[in-house]
Structure 1
Amino acid sequence: MDVNKIIEKLPYTKPFLFVDSLSHIDSSGAAGSFCFQKDLDFYEGHFKQLPVTPGVILTECCAQIGLVCLGIFLLSDSPEKDINDLAVAFSSSQMEFYIPVYPGETVYVSSEKLYFRFNKLKCKVKMHNAAKELVCKGELAGIIKYSSNGA
């Protein structure tokens, strides 16, 4: 499946879309990037003197690239399914954060599938900055399936 089609199938839009591009995807994992533009709304209040990207947003970026994009790829053997029937539910996260991400920075996320069974996908994820420094890492899990048509 074409990586641009995977991004199009994501059930998110701006301002809550945290995927700019996918550089790799196969049945074992995914990799992609996102630039945290300086004008994103959450920077106004997190923190007043030195804005940084909230950890929950970094986790969401990892989940969108490393979990949901991979899940869409793994379900791509059903091309007749309508993306409007895609159901995504985040079920668990365990993340460790090492360095901050500031406005204007681009991050790179990679994931490694741990398992995908009964529509539950669990992955190891890592996020690096442009200097290849580890920003955060962890394990994320979620349910991804088509909500109707018996899938």
Structure 2
Amino acid sequence: MNQTEIIKNLPYQEPFLFVDLLTEVSENGVTGNYRFKEDAFFYEGHFKGNPITPGVILTETMAQIGVVCLGIYLLKNEILTTDKNPQIALTSNQVDFYLPVLPNEKVTVISEKQYFRFNKLKCAVKMINEKNELVCRGTISGMIIAE
């Protein structure tokens, strides 16, 4: 399964799809990018005259790239051979934030698998900006099955 097929199998669509490109995918982790569009719905009220990407959206971006894309890759044999759709549920997250992300800013998410067993995937995930500065990092876990 290649990067395009992984993105195609994501259970998200605009305006809630936060994956543009996957640059690396393996059994041990994933790296991908997303550019936050200036006209994204959440900038209208966060904050007046000084739009900043909400932390919950940064966490969602890290989860989509770092956990869901990796989970789809890990379940690729089931998905490709049975035509089953991946079902995902976030189970926990702990994220520390260091820098803001502004409209039109491109971020890179780097995820390393900590474990995948009994359909639970736990990853150490970090986000960096175009200046290679750490934006946020933490651990995100989710349940993923092909159904």
The bucket for the TM-score relative to the shorter chain is over 0.9
Q: 1:80 aligns to what?
A: 81
Aligned residues: 146
SS at match of 2:77: coil
Residue correspondence of structure 1 range 2-151 to structure 2 within 5 A = 2-78=2-78, 79-83=80-84, 85-147=85-147
Structure 1: state its 5+ residue gaps: none
SS at match of 1:69: helix
When normalised by structure 2's length, the TM-score is 0.97
Q: Distance in 2 between matches of 1:22 and 1:9?
A: 13
Q: Distance in 1 between matches of 2:24 and 2:82?
A: 23
Query: Percent identity among equivalent residues?
Result: 54
CA RMSD after TM alignment:
0.8
SS at match of 2:104: coil
Q: Distance in 2 between matches of 1:90 and 1:59?
A: 11
Q: Distance in 2 between matches of 1:52 and 1:138?
A: 20
Structure 2: state its 5+ residue gaps: none
Q: Distance in 1 between matches of 2:82 and 2:33?
A: 27
Shift of 1:30: 0.2
Structure 1 stretches of at least 4 aligned residues deviating more than 2 Å after TM superposition: none
When normalised by structure 1's length, the TM-score is 0.95
